[in-house]
Copies of this chain bind each other. A is one copy, B any other.
Amino acid sequence: MAEAVRHDKTARQLRLLSDALDTGRLGPVRRLVNTLSPAEIGNLLESLPPAKRAIVWGLVDPEDDGEVLVHVGEDVRESLLAEMDPDEIVAAVGDLDIDDLAELAEDLPDTVIDEVLKSMDRENRERLEQVLSYPEDTAGRLMDPDVITVRTDVTVDVVLRYLRLRGEIPDHTDHLFVVSRRHQYLGRISIAALLTHSPSTPINELFDDEQPAIPVDTPADEVASLFSDHDWISAPVVDENNILLGRITIDDVVDIIREQAEHQALSAAGLDEDEDMFSPVPRAAWRRLPWLAINLATAFLAASVVGRFEDTIEKIVALAVLMPIVAGMGGNAGTQVLALMVRGLALGQVSRANAALLLWKETRVAVLNGLALGAILALVVWLWFGDWQLSAVIFAALVANLLFASLAGVLVPLTLKRLGFDPALASSIFLTTVTDVMGFFCFLGLATLVLLG
């Protein structure tokens, strides 16, 4: 697996660091840490237990402190901020770009934010306040208001001279944005075009007015899709009057995509992607409890179904031995359908337009695999218990439960989505409730009818 090497690389750093920390000689630790990028330092801090984390955090070059804070999850950020004086925090975050500062703002103490605002010039203060006025996870919150704009009535030469005069160009500037006198977004001009055209060419003739701007209220993950569907490096953000407010760059989009993936993986287990691997035990336990409690409630539901058939089980104990197989296989088959559906929903590939077709396809897949697995199961049960009627019952129950599993696998995430819930979060609980309840009911019900009938 390719993944192994990435793992080995960070893991090697982690081991070196742990060994150095254990010896207590901090010089080598400091040198190691300060060869890393802020994102790598963040990654390393997240993988350290609290005591070592605090030591390493103290060794990070103060110049990198702000960037490192941007690159860690909320829980870890909180633990790092707890180690800092207000003055240190102000110094650390004061030099950040507006978009990074906006991302941190919610986790900073109010006094620190006031200090930071006071230390800024008026233009930057107003920009930060503007960015903070947009809801989290929207384009407005992701954008950096520091944008280079040009007007249509100048030539390439004028722009080039302006850039030289400016002396600094923000990172990830692949395009300059062309605006009207009233700062309305008109289009963009690529740096490449500036470089390859004659200096006397008017911007007018060169600029691309086809790239749409991103409305300021666009949700973060739609921003991410736009970037990856169009291979953008940067894109303009506008308000409802098409006034250019700022721009979003690919580095932030990459972070969003990574966070989405983590969210999807962790929320399926009822966890938050900001969870610190080393969060304090009572807090970790407390956070996991609600999901487990809901699962306990659904387990009681399934158990109550089994409870209805106590008389049957008393007469044929083999049923108790075999019933978890029928329920479990339903859960497994349903999980496969669910995984495809959750991906399809996240990519926008599943909707009412094709849901019926998917259901029909999954039903047929369930029948085929039900027949195949049911045959194996029936054979083993016959060899084990020597009762062909029991074999027939478990065969039928398995086929039936795989059908219910495919139904639930398709319909549960669609229904949750339509009701406004995150299908990645709650689908699996509902799915296994269906497959447990129906698995026990079909198997024990059929057994009661056939074997005791």
Residue numbers of A with Cβ under 8 A of B are 1-11, 14-15, 18, 37, 39-40, 43, 46-49, 137-138, 160, 163-164, 166-169, 171-174, 191-192, 194-198, 218-222, 225, 227-231, 233, 250-251, 253-255, 257-258, 260-262, 264-266, 268-271, 275, 277-278, 281-282, 284-285, 288-289, 291-293, 295-296, 299-300, 302-303, 306-307, 310, 313-314, 317-325, 327-329, 332-333, 335-336, 338-340, 342-354, 357-358, 361, 364-365, 368-369, 372-373, 376-377, 380, 384, 417, 420-422, 432, 436, 440
Q: How far, in angstroms, from A184 to B11 measured CA to CA in the complex?
A: 31
- In this complex, the member of A3, A8, A292, A328 whose beta carbon has the largest number of chain B beta carbons within 10 angstroms is A3
* Contact (Cβ within 8 A) A343 B47: no
Q: How far, in angstroms, from A137 to B2 measured CA to CA in the complex?
A: 7
* Contact (Cβ within 8 A) A349 B167: no
Chain B residues contacting A372 (CB-CB under 8 Å) are 285, 289
Copies of this subunit? 2
Known contacts A7-B345, A292-B373; 19 further A-B pairs (Cβ under 8 A): A1-B420, A2-B221, A3-B219, A3-B345, A9-B222, A9-B225, A14-B349, A37-B229, A160-B195, A168-B192, A169-B196, A172-B231, A173-B192, A258-B261, A269-B338, A277-B344, A278-B358, A296-B373, A310-B320
12 residue pairs from A and B, CB less than 8 Å apart? A2-B137, A3-B345, A5-B221, A7-B346, A11-B353, A174-B174, A254-B257, A257-B261, A281-B368, A296-B373, A303-B322, A306-B320
* Contact (Cβ within 8 A) A289 B328: no
A289 to chain B, nearest CB (A): 6
A307 to chain B, nearest CB (A): 5
Q: How far, in angstroms, from A271 to B292 measured CA to CA in the complex?
A: 26
Q: How far, in angstroms, from A303 to B250 measured CA to CA in the complex?
A: 52
* Contact (Cβ within 8 A) A324 B340: no
* Contact (Cβ within 8 A) B292 A329: yes
